[in-house]
Structure 1
Amino acid sequence: MEWINQLPAFLLIFVRILAFLATLPVFSYRNVPNIFKIAFSLFFAYIIFFTLDAPAIGIDATFFLLIIKEVLIGLLLGLIASILFYAIQVAGAFIDIKMGFLIANVMDPQTGAQTPLTGGFLYAFAVLFLLVTDGHHLLLDGIFYSYAYVPVEEMNVQFGGESVMETAAGAVLAMFVIAFQMAFPIVGALFLVDVALGMMSRAVPQMNVFVVGLPLKIFLGLPIMLLMLPAFFWLVTNLVDEMVITMRMLLELFEGA
């Protein structure tokens, strides 16, 4: 009956993984069944449990505090990854502003929120690229090695430290920088189209710029978007690397707290 003494440690591992999957990109989508998330968390926790040599933990008041700590660590790690991955949606919003698609947001069945048309298009490509290149394995690698930085029995974890807040703010800043890099080719080209239309409106006042400009931007924006897809996939690769680095930095800050 020694496994009963190890059961609290297994539950702590399971709680951190389940909280991590609740906010992690791809795994947290609404079209992923909850029974799959729970079963995958149990399977992953089973593997990690026999890898870590977890200590015996008693069920007392400290155990419930450890559960809260595990939930917060899992949610924060998954949230940091999600914030960076939403750079694709932000880039799509930047593009839609210039192309005129922002007035036609659609409901995303994966998240249940309204998303820009171009953002949903690019986001679908990014998710497929993430799965094909095994990028999701890197994200799961982050939660696996999190137990080396913050063991399950560790209680001295300061979530509100100044360095932790700076890392979170840096992740938001990196999200906007990467989003701008993704959207810049199209936004820059369409800005030149606006400049050309402004010059034409001064030269030919009889021409209705608003009637001509909207279809012209769509006609030019879609081919430019296809041409920028190779660079977009390169930026998605850098985005995944940035997600892994930020998660590792956050864990190092938790370890040094």
Structure 2
Amino acid sequence: MEALSTGLLYYVLILARVAGLIFTTPIFNSQAVGYRSQMVIALMLSFVLYPIVANHLNTPPQTMGPFILEIISQVFMGTIMGFMIQLLFAAFQLAGEFFSLQMGISFSEVLDPQAQVSIPVMGTLKNLIGTLLFLAVPFEIDGVYAPAYLHLVRAVAYSFVAVPTIIIDGQTSGGLLNYMDESFGVMFLTALRIGIPMMGILFISSVMLGIMGRAAPQLNLMNMGIQINITVGLLVMITVLPVIVPLMRDSFASMYDVLGEMFDTWPKARPGAANAG
């Protein structure tokens, strides 16, 4: 009975970190998925991870107060991971808003099914491409060829090995802020790399329209500027999409590298005689 009780405590700690991740990761935390489905996913994923990671966990506290604090710290770690993935999808949306602004269609908005807010149509398109990449398009990290969501599961499993118990002190806070800064840097760099081809070509198009409008005012090109920008933008979008998709895919690998660095440098607690029983 004691072994069963200890095993249940291990499972609750694993579930706390996994639930923190599921409830903050884009796609999984969408209103379209629903809280019940999110909880079922968290329960099933925790069940799958239990035999893999339980032996790496420290012995769980046997009293209520410390155990609740341990649960909160596990939820905190899962939330950090989910937030970093959110930053990546925010980068895709930001790149789409760059597109919309340059094309002159930033005023046209549609409802984002994940966030349940209205965003420019190109931002929604980039989010949908990111969702497809996350769920269906495999790529290689550390010799493993799998879609991004499976790499995320691997990252969760590795987090239990590298950081079984969460220590939060001055050193941790400073390091966490550094990795948050690095994550924001990855986000803006990703948005810029995705958006620059469209922004550059549409900027040149606008300059050429201005020059032609000055050189031949009778053509009245300025009144046709929006239509021309939209047409050029769509043509450029079709042309650069084969380049943009690999950039978006590689950004997942970059974010997972940041997560791995964070796990490796997180202060380690003194290991206990952990055993899943």
How far did 1:194 drift?
Answer: 0.9
> Given that residues 12 and 67 in structure 1 are in contact (C-alpha distance below 8 angstroms), is that contact kept between their aligned partners in structure 2?
yes
Between 1:234-243 and 1:29-38, the stretch displaced more is 29-38
2: distance between equivalents of 1:155 and 1:189? Answer: 48
Answering whether residue 138 of structure 2 is matched by residue 157 of structure 1, we say no
How far residue 202 of structure 1 moved from its aligned partner, in angstroms, is 1.7
- Match for residue 198 of structure 1 among 183, 199, 210: 210
- Counterpart contact for 1:12–1:66, Cα < 8 Å: yes
**For the residues of structure 2 that align with 1:59 and 1:105, how far apart are their CA atoms?**
52
Q: Name the stretch that deviates more: 226-235 or 50-59.
A: 50-59
Change (3 A) 1:196 1:11: same
Is the 2:18–2:42 Cα contact (8 Å) retained in structure 1? yes
Identify which of 144, 147, 156 aligns with 1:143. 156
Structure 1 residue aligned with 2:246: 234
One-letter identity of the residue aligned with 1:156: I
1:161 aligned counterpart, secondary structure: helix
CA deviation after TM superposition for structure 1 residue 244, in Å = 0.8
- TM, length-normalised to structure 2: 0.86
Aligned length: 255
Question: Does the 8 A contact of 2:91 with 2:188 survive in 1?
Answer: yes
Aligned AA for 1:14? L
Partner of 1:124: 128
Picking from 76, 83, 86, the partner of 2:80 is 76
Determine if contact 1:85/1:239 at 8 Å carries over to the other structure: no
Matched, 1:107 2:115: no
8 Å contact from structure 2 (residues 186, 255) kept in 1: no
CA shift, 1:207, in A, is: 4.8
Cα distance, 1:234 vs structure 2: 0.7
Where in structure 1 are there 5+ consecutive unaligned residues?
Answer: none
Q: Which amino acid letter does the alignment assign opposite residue 68 of structure 1?
A: I
User: Percent same amino acid among aligned pairs?
Assistant: 25
Q: Secondary structure of 1:63's match?
A: helix
Q: Matches of 1:4 and 1:256 in 2, distance apart?
A: 26
Provide the secondary structure at the position in 2 that maps to 1:32: coil
Task: List per-residue Cα deviations over 1:3-27 (Å, max 9, x = no partner).
Answer: 1232222111101101101111222
The residue type equivalent to 1:218 in the other structure is: I
Checking the alignment, whether the CA contact within 8 Å between 2:97 and 2:120 is kept in structure 1 is yes
2:272 is matched with which residue?
none
**Are 1:86 and 2:97 counterparts?**
no
SS at match of 1:121: helix
Q: Deviation of residue 118 (structure 1)?
A: 0.6
1:249 maps to which residue?
261
Question: Alpha-carbon deviation of 1:256?
Answer: 5.0
Letter aligned with residue 119 of structure 2: T
Contact 1:8 1:59 in 2 (8 A): no
| TM-score, scaled to structure 1 | 0.92
Secondary structure of the structure 1 residue equivalent to 2:23: helix
Opposite residue 189 of structure 2, the aligned amino acid is V
Q: Is the 8 A contact 2:210 2:222 kept in 1?
A: no
Distance change in 2, residues 1:59/1:42 (3 Å): farther
Match of 1:115, as an amino acid?
Answer: I
1:98 aligns with 102
1:6–1:56 Cα contact (<8 Å) kept = no
Between the aligned partners of 1:75 and 1:142, the Cα distance in structure 2 is 13
Partner of 1:15: 16
Please, which moves more after superposition, 94-103 or 208-217? Answer: 208-217
- For the residue of structure 2 that corresponds to 1:115, the secondary structure is strand
Kindly report the root-mean-square deviation, in angstroms, between the aligned alpha carbons of the 2 structures.
1.8
Q: 1:218 corresponds to which residue?
A: 230
Deviation at 1:236, TM superposition (A): 1.5
Does the CA-based 8 Å contact 2:89-2:130 persist in structure 1? no
1:172, distance to aligned residue in structure 2 (A): 0.8
